[in-house]
Amino acid sequence: MKIHIASREIILTQPTSTFLVYALGLLTIGAGLYFLRIRDSEISRLWWGISLLLWGSGALLAGTSYQAFGYEIKCEGRQTCAWTSWWEVVYLMFQQMSIDAMLVAVAYSCTEGSLQMILSAYALVNAVVYVIFTFVGGIVPVKSLITFNLMVRVSTPIFLLLFILNGWRYYMLKDPMDLAFLGTWILLLLTMAAYWLYDDLEITQKLWARGKGIWFSQNDVLHICLIFWVIYIAAVVANRVKDYVPALSMG
């Protein structure tokens, strides 16, 4: 698809995919702003808002370089296309910082004292170390340091920890907030499973090879599933999020 801006022809590399990833980014930013609007004095809602703003901003950055203007950013004026761009490097930084901010948010909702401090410190150190390594990977460059797969491997322990924490709390306390959090992690797990399965089965290539010009990639699957994930967070999780209440004060 070609568009004209200021008498200049620009190639929109993947129009449908661009729409989906931009929709995800804007929706996620909107969900983050919603958390900030309803935060009152809840620190956990503040961190949820920060997390979703980072996630949504990262999606817009990724969509610009991967889907929308990949040719202009990585190929135009070059003899050989670049294999990445700073749009994508910063996206990875924002994505991981978003997940670490999510860990802080849940820590304020579900823990207190030393455990809360440990989880928050882990989130901070994890974010700083990842950003440094990713920045170095972009400068040197080192391809293995700036991949989606590495970011997933770094973030997976956080989601497993949150799943265990909320599962244990729901078993002990039957708190609806923990059940809502469990739904968040399960939906994200199913999203990633759909992404990897679609990729492993090479459905993108099979659809395109049939000669009908159908382009529907594993990234499109990921973005559609994440749109529903964000809607779930805004509709189900947001109003259940609250800061930790000591057991003696509950009820």
Domain membership of residue 17 (yes or no) is yes
Give the pLDDT confidence score for residue 4 in this predicted structure: 39
Q: Are 58 and 94 contacting, i.e. CB atoms less than 8 angstroms apart? A: yes
Domain membership of residue 167 (yes or no) is yes
φ, ψ for residue 88 (rounded to 5)? -75, -35
Domain membership of residue 248 (yes or no) is no
Domain membership of residue 56 (yes or no) is yes
36-71 pLDDT tens trace: 999 999 999 999 999 999 999 999 999 998 887 876
Identify any residues that bridge with 10 across adjacent strands, giving them in sequence order.
3
The vertex-216 CA angle with 221 and 53, nearest 5°, equals 45
- List the one residue out of 116, 107, 110, 95 whose CA is nearest residue 52: 95
Report residue 3's pLDDT band, with 50, 70 and 90 as the boundaries.
very low
Domain membership of residue 2 (yes or no) is no
CATH of the domain at 25: 1.20.1070
Domain membership of residue 208 (yes or no) is yes
- What range does the domain containing 63 cover? 7-242
Q: Is 242 helix (H, G, I), strand (E, B) or coil?
A: coil
Give the whole-angstrom CA distance, residue 73 versus residue 85.
7
Q: Kindly report the number of other CB atoms within 10 A of residue 141's CB atom.
A: 14
Give the whole-angstrom CA distance, residue 163 versus residue 169.
10
127-148 pLDDT tens trace: 999 999 999 999 998 999 999 9
Q: Are 110 and 244 contacting, i.e. CB atoms less than 8 angstroms apart? A: yes
Mean pLDDT of 181-208: 92
Tally of domains within the chain = 1
- List the one residue out of 8, 138, 142, 153 whose CA is nearest residue 65: 138
How far, in Å, are 4, 36, 50, 91, 251 from residue 109 at the CA level?
49, 15, 15, 27, 16
